[in-house]
Structure 1
Amino acid sequence: MTSIDVDDRGFTLGHGLFETVLWAEGALAHWDDHAFRMFRGCRNLDLPPPDPAALRAAAEAALAAAGSPERAAVRLNWSAGPGHRGLDPPADPKPRLTAKASPLGAPPGPARLVTTRVRRNEHSPTSRVKSLSYLDNVLARAEARAAGGDEALMLNTAGDVACAAAANVFWLRHDEVFTPALECGVLDGIMRRQAIAAARDLGLPVQEVAANLGRIAGAPMFLTNSLIGVRLVASLDGRELAASPLVVAIAKAVSRAR
């Protein structure tokens, strides 16, 4: 059993990073992209990065401990490690790496989105990294489920569409693909990049924008993250959304790139 020190800053302050990697078809999907994002996040949080070989070994050990399932979510945590009481980090941080693999079933069906009151703070540095402090997302998802949805749509403090609780957001208008700009408080998602590239390869214009709810009303939508790939949105705030063959085409192109 893995233990966590009671003074670990990841435990006490949410100081650290994580990545969730899909294990499928005998491979860790987009491994290099996940590792690079963690290293980049370490620069943003002024943390020493994990050793690349140790990071990979931790993922493989977690899969072995889980019985080597056919499909799994491999979660890698890079905590800031032990520290003194209070906010100030130690002069010589000693981050700690942990990993866990959880078996996955088939990807979920179309999502029922509910716009939540919990806002994404686009001014916060943590909106740009996979921070261990994920409470806003937890509360947004809980609010959405309480309202009969299965995923949250989060706006930022300016009222613009930002993201889902655990996914990037896309919509279509007149054969154009739109997604919130990174400046809206959006995580630079690995599947977000894949979907943008796939849409452009299909000849579809892609715009990264700031948009309020009125601009996406009634538009076909889809979500992306590393575990679901591309997930169609069935409804937003109880309103059924039209399906689009373009979403299917983007999903197929992203799936081939895995």
Structure 2
Amino acid sequence: MFDYDSYKHISVDVEDGVAEVCFHRPEKYNALNTETMLDLQRAFSEFRLDRSIDVIVVTGEGDDAFSAGADIQQYAGPAEEHDPMQKDRQDLFFDIYAAAKNVHAPVIAKINGYCVGGGLIFAMYCDLRVAVDEAKFGVPVTDIGQIPTGGSTYRAAQLVGEAKAKELVYTAGMIDAEEAHRIGLVNDIVAREDLDETVAELVAAIQDTGREAVKASKRAIDAAVEAPDLETARETEAEIWWEQFATDERRELVDEFNEGSE
């Protein structure tokens, strides 16, 4: 039903409920040009329809970069040369970045090297981030006279706090994996030789639980993060809880638990 083979700048492999996405522009440090972003848009549109997918893992080809961000050549020249395409492109890019957040399955960014600019924005919209201890992170857009886009100012402040987000943007600086872990930008850092195994263990742990419960939990947590107040978050959580309570999965797993405790 789903064609996961016809992409130009990414590859998609789906097996046993796990979708693995890989950026394929190693000669450009897996930079996210328009064609790559359109590939991502189509892939995540298909993922949203494929309810058999439990977990999505995204990484970059090679050992140098998860993604070095946007292809800067696409921003060269005076503003009038870009109207109205550039604004439309930014709106489109936001939809694609947010696709990782909006898809039903948890998304893991498997960060194997530089994670910069647009690459970091996409990783921030993933649910979990695991990085090699050699990885570098940054949003160096002020270096080219621009500001962060794709909703990244909001998302960065959510993840690392207002002060740290401002520091990263204002200085256009890079931070190492240890600092990224300390400020909460990544969940875990590991040696390069352990990256595949660590992510595989994380995927297995997710799949070993109630798979629909995980997807419902993602909806509830994301709604809580966006909620204006506790009461709104609680009401949404209660609605999702009841939906999950009515599932066969909940009934079967509760029965299994009770039988095992007898």
**TM-score, normalisation: structure 1:** 0.28
Flag the structure with more relative contact order, 1 or 2, with Cα contacts below 8 A and sequence separation at least 6.
1
Structure with the largest fraction of strand: 1
Structure with the largest fraction of helix: 2
**TM-score, normalisation: structure 2:** 0.27
